[in-house]
Structure 1
Amino acid sequence: MSSVPQIKIPATYMRGGTSKGVFFKLSDLPEAAQVPGKARDQLLLRVIGSPDPYQKQTDGMGGATSSTSKAVIIAKSSSPEHDVDYLFGQVAIDRPYVDWSGNCGNLSSAVGPFAVANGFVDPARIPDNGVVEVRIWQANIQKTIISKVPVTNGEVQETGDFELDGVTFPAAEVAVAFMDPADGEGAIFPTGNVVDELEVPGFKTLSATMINAGIPTIFINAADLGYTGTELQEVINGDAKALAMFETVRAHGALRMGLIEDVSEAANRQHTPKIAFVAPSADYTASSGNAVHAEDIDLLVRALSMGKLHHAMMGTAAVAIAAAAAIEGTLVNLAAGGGKRQSVTFGHPSGSLRVGAEANLIDGHWQIDKAIMSRSARVLMEGTVRVPGDSF
């Protein structure tokens, strides 16, 4: 009978926004996994518990949803303008694949607190009581994130009274600004249009806003898909035909956005682009059982992540919503009532969220300087994770 000893790797299990994941310092990883490649991917797959044909991730740290099958690698930044370099991996649940193509906006809110607590920020900048600004380089998309981390008695404050729909308990508020969030060389709209007619098998055409901000996202009108925008997870995720339809639309949108060269490639790029559907505000009951009133929100948004309807809203998709809402004529802007706006409050399956962005049209091209939202973060466990020594 063969036996391979397990190895221990220092790690921190953190919640950030409505997601949670395993955080590593780059220097703590085994040498073979300190560089991108097969060894790193195999290690993270084993840590999270993938691939799992049962889709439960019982033998790993993952929670069997797109929101909980995540890994983060943090390193001291080589740039004097940043405190840390932050790399995010979205770990597939049922396949041996780690998607490095985009960021996680929710876990971005945990990066600042992790950086402060783990000595990545100059102690001279950390107040005894107040807020410390942490400058983060998001390595996946090559963008800057500014996180404002609350500090009490010289340590990161994690508890507080800030409530975030989709998170059960209140915590300390962490304000996060995504600077110049357009993905790529400022190409907020890869087709050059705020709305396109997207040809998808099974539909004549679909009006779509395809935007690169925060994360590449395809917005469709809920009514064009036969929905109201008030749907909760079970309505979508329990309908295999609906999920297949959304994936087909996502694949054709990815092709139109230039993210893939053939629709078949979308299956190996689950993390990006996201697909979401929007509708004007309406009353509904959130998954918590709380009532969401139409007069308290500007529009409804439902978004899918890794092939399933998200229980709340991905942070990066919230950035895309903020950017699209700020630009007149997009489907998001029109669903919110149109006109110029610098913030919106949107309804999602778990409740509502307010996000802000300011758009400017410069030389015929839209530009977003930054998108802002508030999240919270908390350490759930810290110590070491164990994996069999032959995992990678």
Structure 2
Amino acid sequence: MDYITQLKIPATYMRGGTSKGVFFNLQDLPKQAQAPGKARDDLLLRVIGSPDPYEKQIDGMGGASSSTSKAVILSKSDKAEHDVNYLFGQISIDKPKVDWSGNCGNLTAAVGSFAVTNQLVDNSRIPQNGIAIIRIWQENIQKSIVAHVPIQNGQVVECGHFELDGVTFPSAEIKIEFIQPVDASDILFPTGNLVDQLDIPDVGSISATMINAGIPTIFVNAVDIGYLGTESQENINNDPAALQKFEKIRAYGALKMGLIENLDEANNRLHTPKIVYIGPSTDYQCTSGKQVSKNQIDLCVRALSMGKLHHAMMGTAAVSIASASVIQGTIVNQLITGNLAEKARHSYVVFGHPSGTLKVGAQAAKNLGKWTIEKVTMSRSARVLMEGKVLIPHTWEQKA
């Protein structure tokens, strides 16, 4: 009998925002996995424990949800005025698929901390005490992000009193700035409209705002599809018919946005676009049992990721929500209470999600009839959960 040995790869298991993932330094990966392609995908699938027909990822580092089936590869940046390159892979739980089509806004919060700790940032840019301004080049979407990482005695501060709904324990606050998530050469509204009609078999004709900001996102009004915007994960994820309806809306929206050429291609593009439904501010009870008052929030938001309702809110979807909220005429803007629609277009929105609330700021401008988003800001937190080496059987190489 031949014994199969295991490959040991330096890695760090980190929480960023309301997500968790396995972080790698690019140079620590096996040579054949340092470049994009099948070898890299097969390695990450085996690390996370996918594909798993049981959808538990017992034999890997994944946590059996879209929020915990993720991998990050970092390297010193070769981009001027940037410190670190950040590449994100969303790993399917039950399919042999790594989706590289978008960013993870939550794990972005951990990128700066990892980069400092693993000497990917020049020492001259790290204060002995204070805030390190880490300039991140997000490779998936080719955008700049700035992370404000607290430093004490030359080390990253991870523990603190900042509370983030969806995360049980407090940590140090990390401010994130998404710089020009849609730059001047991009099309913020790919159809050219603030609101479109989607005609979907067995669903009907529904209004949608489709936007490219942070991540391609499709917004629909909750009432148009029979919901309130206060549903729990169980309400949606235990209802196969509901999940099928949302996936159908997502596929038709992706086609309208020009992200796919035919509906079948949506099966291979699971990470993007996101489908988000919204309702007016309403009192509701979040997952932890805490009550959210309608007076605390501007609107209620529920978002799906990788085919399931998210337990809190994806950071990239939060960028889209904030961007759409400050542009008059979008479905998001129309639903906001508190007269936010009348405020200057340098504002913020507070929305309710299944785990609580989130405040996100956005700066928008309109020049020659064209909308642009200059910056989106939010606060997250991050913490190292484990560091060392992750092990996978050498048989992954036979697949690659």
TM bucket (normalised to shorter chain) is: over 0.9
Deviation at 1:390, TM superposition (A): 2.1
Residues 80-95 of structure 1: matches in 2 within 5 Å? 80-95=80-95
* Amino acid across the alignment from 2:385: L
Q: What is the CA distance between 1:204 and its match in structure 2?
A: 3.1
1:214 matched residue in structure 2: 214
Residue 200 of structure 1, CA deviation: 1.0
* Aligned positions of 1:1-392 closer than 5 A: 1-182=1-182, 185-337=185-337, 338-340=341-343, 341=345, 342-392=347-397
Question: 1:120-171 CA deviation, whole Å, 9 max, x = no partner?
Answer: 1121221121101000000000000000000111100000000000000000
Structural RMSD (CA): 1.0
Q: Is the 8 A contact 2:174 2:381 kept in 1?
A: yes
* Maintained 8 Å contact 1:183/1:215: no
Structure 1 residue 184: deviation in Å? Answer: 9.3
Letter of the 1:219 partner, please give it: F
Q: Could you tell me whether the CA contact under 8 Å between 2:322 and 2:349 is conserved in 1? A: yes
**Structure 1 segments of 4+ aligned residues over 4 angstroms from their partners:** none
- 1:168-201 C-alpha deviation (Å, 9 max, x unpaired): 0000000000111128942110001111111111
Shift of 1:220: 0.3
Q: Which moved more, 1:375-384 or 1:363-372?
A: 363-372
Q: Secondary structure at the match of 1:171?
A: coil
Normalised TM-score (structure 1): 0.99
Which digits, 9 at most, give the CA deviation of each residue in 1:240-298, with x for residues without a partner?
00000000000000000000000111011110000000011000000010000000100
Distance 1:165 1:196 in 2: 32
Alpha-carbon distance between aligned partners in 2 of 1:63 and 1:265, rounded to the nearest angstrom: 26
Q: How many residues align?
A: 392
**What is the identity percentage for the equivalent residue pairs of Structure 1 and Structure 2?**
65
Q: Is the 8 A contact 2:183 2:372 kept in 1?
A: no
SS of structure 1 residue aligned to 2:200? coil
SS of 1:381 mapped into structure 2? strand
Cα distance in 1 for residues equivalent to 2:119 and 2:204: 56
Whole-Å separation in 2 of the counterparts to 1:254 and 1:193: 15
Letter paired with 2:137: W
- Structure 2: gaps spanning 5 or more residues: none
Distance in 1 (CA, whole Å) between partners of 2:153 and 2:170 is: 20
Is the 8 Å Cα contact of residues 183 and 373 (structure 2) preserved in structure 1?
no
Distance 2:82 2:303 in 1: 31
